[in-house]
Amino acid sequence: MEFVYQDAKLLVCVKPAGVAAGDVPALARQALGAPEAALYPVHRLDQPVGGLLLLARTRRAAGDLGRDLAEGRFLKSYLAAVSGAPVPGAGTLEDWLLRDRGRRMTRSVPEGSPGAQYAALDYETLQQQGGHSLLQVTLRTGRTHQIRAQFSARGWPLLGDRKYGGREFCPLALWSCRLAFTHPKTGARLDFFLPPPKEAPWTEFDEIWKL
């Protein structure tokens, strides 16, 4: 596992796509050469999703960062490649999402549906190529499978997302590209950006590596 930043309070690591969220701390300890190190995930990424992930190294730091996340002071942005061309090319998606635990899926439902949670995200189209669109997505809320469900509900499933209507046989086109947050001890604002690896399906879009 790679790290893009580390100090006594936190680690910003690069989660490989395909790694389960629960396995990340063990992989980080192995990379640190510290099998007994205390590590606390501040947020999570679905198993098929790779990219930037933040781990706290103390309980207090985890608590401070978790509060910032819950109160909207923690920025998380993703790159996503979808089928079709979202209209308009930039905007905000708002839905009420319901988690189907039996099917392990999330779906958009009418407001007021029992158990549904409000979900919102902002998106911007960066490039269109061959009937596909590259988007930058910034979450306002953090619901399970939120990005996948909200775009699928509008007929723009993510490339490779067979669970939500994607037809392409490629890895899921969702990458955690940016984290911005306040350091729990110093108060400095930290901002990290990491493009995805140069492999399919990302190599369809040359604009990624110009960001």
Residues 58-83: tens digit of each pLDDT: 999 999 999 999 998 999 999 999 99
Pairwise CA distance, residues 62 & 42, whole Å:
6
Please give the structure tokens belonging to residue 191.
Answer: 């901002």
Convert the pLDDT of each residue in 100-158 to its tens digit. Answer: 988 899 999 999 999 999 999 999 999 999 999 999 999 999 999 999 999 999 999 99
CATH class of 2-210: alpha beta
- Give me the residue spans of the domains in the chain: 2-210
**pLDDT at residue number 138:** 97
Catalytic site positions:
46
DSSP state of 158: B
Task: Report the alpha-carbon distance of residue 17 to residue 10 in Å, rounded.
Answer: 21
pTM score:
0.94
Q: Which of 104, 3, 7 is nearest to 56 (CA)?
A: 7
- Return the percentage of the chain with pLDDT > 90, whole number: 90
If you average pLDDT over every residue of the chain, what do you get? 95
> How buried is 99 (Cβ within 10 angstroms: 0-12 exposed, 13-18 middle, 19+ buried)?
middle
